[in-house]
Amino acid sequence: MAFEHEIEMDLSKQIPGLCDFGVECFLSGEEMEIGEASYAENGINVILSDKISYNRSPPYVQHELCKNVHYDILSLPTASVIITFYEEPYSVLLRTVHSVLNTAPSAILKEIILVDDFSSRRDLKGKLGYYVKTRLSSKVKLFRMRRQSGLVRARLAGAQRATGSVLVFLDAHCECTSGWLQPLLSRIHQSRSSVVVPLIDVINQKTFEYESDGYGFDIGGFTLDGHFDWHDVPERERERQRRECKDEIEICPTYSPTMAGGLFAISRDYFWEIGSYDEQMDGWGGENLEMSFRIWMCGGTLETIPCSRIGHIFREFHPYSFPNDKDTHGINTVRMAKVWMDDYQELLYMNRPDLRNHPDVGDVTHRKVLRDKLKCKSFEWYMQNIYPEKFIPTRNVQNYGRISAIEDDRFCFDDLQQNIDEPYNLGVYSCYKHDIAPSQLFSYTYNKVLRTERSCATIDDRRSTKYIVMIPCNSDDEVTDTWVHTSFNQFKHEQTGLCIDRKNLDKNLLHAAVCDSLSKTQKWEFQKTKKQSI
Ligand code: UD2
Ligand code: MN
């Protein structure tokens, strides 16, 4: 039998003990080169993955306090683990499946449902089917979509077939660590409207190291251009946890405004009650924020469970694309925003003008009907109660908009398309005339911070030219740099007494200079535009 032979060949490539306990490992010589080439193609070093056992031992990463928690396995609900995949490397996918089988107590693992989203890779066809049939427990079931459907419809197809009381979704490149499943199920058992997320560790895409530094973790937020991002647990939440869990806050369920989307557990009945997914979302992206907002606004909670830890391979790029290179993330995000974000929707379009009136968004009436039926709260309620730390550039500020040189449209503050997740130099560029371009949207807050959605203005005083540098704002909103907008229209830095100046521009970058009330190059004003109704 050809598959039998191929499977034996695959197993013979694996080196027992390689990368066990999640230590990093490397290839050498020619293998290193083909490993690097496979990385360039897949975003994962597949050659290395092929050499690591499907059953490599996970590291021990649970917090000490988790050891003292006892779970009565027989009283826990059962779980259906759903893994959808599209063009995933075969050995990476199988390691995910094996790790679930190795770590989930069989009394609570009802089944593993694999959904192939119409992959074209050869080994994901007959060989995978044969492996599942001949090498894996009958709890593992494999279904195939008849055309490429995107991860939302693939997950829905998996959920429709699930028979366990809890649905556990995983990406196809994960490794579970011991004891990960019980705390998720236990929390749902206690509170059926809790949607729970494990602590997600990083498995290095090149070395397969299971990177877990300590017990700290982040919770989820979002950016106004529609992306998920990570944040420290705010003090507000720590206080709630102190009330809830007393002196065990390190392992206390932690409220999270959003989730990354790939790894979570939800009561099966509750999943359908709360509106499952928007089945018209194609491809990849957007469904995670949609589900996060929906859960909070419609009466559920979204919680990170620190005793449950799972490693995930974060790729730097997607090894797959969608028909006509469609921006499925953007389109799905508009579908989400139209239903859930109320007038905050405008902020998405302000940051993504290309998504306003996008022709491929389609109709969202049925999701609005769902929102009415479930009597969900407003997005404003969500922002005030679930994510009050989130800075909204147009709310509760002294001023916002473009900042232009007085009566000179050639100079507006601009991020010059630099990477805004890192510190960057503030620059100037011709003012965009109509809408506010996202690169030119600035706010001036009541506590005198000059900022964008994510970055706050400061002065780099290490060099002779004192550039204005935008740095990621402190997540606990501690104000360090403050600016006075003077009666001479200068932005004066309170800590140094210097003013923002555009004299002798070098590469369009702004700097700070001794304040001079007569200087024309120090005068700045907020320009209002017609789209400032938000
Ligand atoms: C993150 C989530 C992912 C999903 C995504 C937004 C984590 C760790 N991952 O991106 O689950 O919520 O954000 O959409 O939270 N897949 C399909 N069909 C497709 C495309 C992908 O089945 O058309 C599979 C894919 O093989 C993988 C899963 O869906 O198993 C998620 O895709 P990803 O790993 O490329 O997404 P990721 O981790 O970058
Ligand atoms: Mn993933």
| pLDDT tens-digit series, residues 21-53 | 999 999 999 999 999 999 999 999 999 999 999
184 pLDDT exceeds 50? yes
pLDDT at 322: 80
In testing the pocket of ligand 1, which one of 42, 82, 86 has its CB within 8 Å of the most ligand atoms?
Answer: 86
* Nearest residue (CA) to ligand 1, atom 33: 171
Ligand 1 nearest atom to the CA of residue 287, by list position: 14
Distance from Cα 477 to the centre of ligand 2, integer Å: 31
Give the closest ligand to the alpha carbon of residue 283.
1
Distance from Cα 311 to the centre of ligand 2, integer Å: 10
Ligand 1 nearest atom to the CA of residue 150, by list position: 23
The pLDDT tens digits of the residues spanning 145-155 come to 999 999 999 99
Output the CA–CA distances (angstroms, integers) from residue 361 to 175, 335, 534, in the order listed.
35, 6, 22
> Under a CB-based contact definition with an 8 Å cutoff, are residues 342 and 380 in contact?
yes
Confidence bin at 529 (pLDDT 50/70/90) = low
> Under a CB-based contact definition with an 8 Å cutoff, are residues 444 and 471 in contact?
no
* Nearest residue (CA) to ligand 1, atom 38: 314
513 pLDDT exceeds 60? yes
Q: What is the 3-state secondary structure (H, E, C) of 135-196?
A: HCCCCEEEEECCCCCHHHHHHHHHHHHCCCCEEEEECCCEEECCCCHHHHHHHHHHCCCEEE
Ligand 1 nearest atom to the CA of residue 285, by list position: 14
Ligand 1 nearest atom to the CA of residue 259, by list position: 15
CB atoms within 10 A of CB 37: 13
Distance CA 276, CA 290 (A): 10
262 pLDDT exceeds 80? yes
Distance from Cα 173 to the centre of ligand 2, integer Å: 6
Give the closest ligand to the alpha carbon of residue 310.
1
Distance from Cα 351 to the centre of ligand 1, integer Å: 24
Give the closest ligand to the alpha carbon of residue 291.
1
CB atoms within 10 A of CB 206: 16
Average pLDDT over residues 338-359: 95
Alpha helices in 402-510 (DSSP H): none
In testing the pocket of ligand 1, which one of 228, 284, 327 has its CB within 8 Å of the most ligand atoms?
Answer: 284
CB atoms within 10 A of CB 166: 27
Confidence bin at 436 (pLDDT 50/70/90) = confident
Confidence bin at 480 (pLDDT 50/70/90) = confident
Q: What's this model's pTM, rounded to 2 decimal places?
A: 0.95
* Nearest residue (CA) to ligand 1, atom 35: 318
Ligand 1 nearest atom to the CA of residue 200, by list position: 8
> Under a CB-based contact definition with an 8 Å cutoff, are residues 169 and 155 in contact?
yes
Domains in the chain, CATH or no CATH each: 2-313 (3.90.550.10), 397-527 (2.80.10.50)
Distance from Cα 262 to the centre of ligand 2, integer Å: 6
In testing the pocket of ligand 1, which one of 93, 124, 171, 316 has its CB within 8 Å of the most ligand atoms?
Answer: 171
185 pLDDT exceeds 60? yes
Distance CA 121, CA 128 (A): 10
The pLDDT tens digits of the residues spanning 273-313 come to 999 999 999 999 999 999 999 999 999 999 999 999 999 99
530 pLDDT exceeds 50? no
* Nearest residue (CA) to ligand 1, atom 25: 85
Residue 294: which H helix or E strand, with range? helix 287-297
Distance from Cα 284 to the centre of ligand 1, integer Å: 6
* Nearest residue (CA) to ligand 1, atom 23: 150
Distance CA 219, CA 233 (A): 6
475 pLDDT exceeds 80? no
Distance from Cα 317 to the centre of ligand 2, integer Å: 10
Distance from Cα 478 to the centre of ligand 2, integer Å: 33
433 pLDDT exceeds 70? yes
Give the closest ligand to the alpha carbon of residue 316.
1
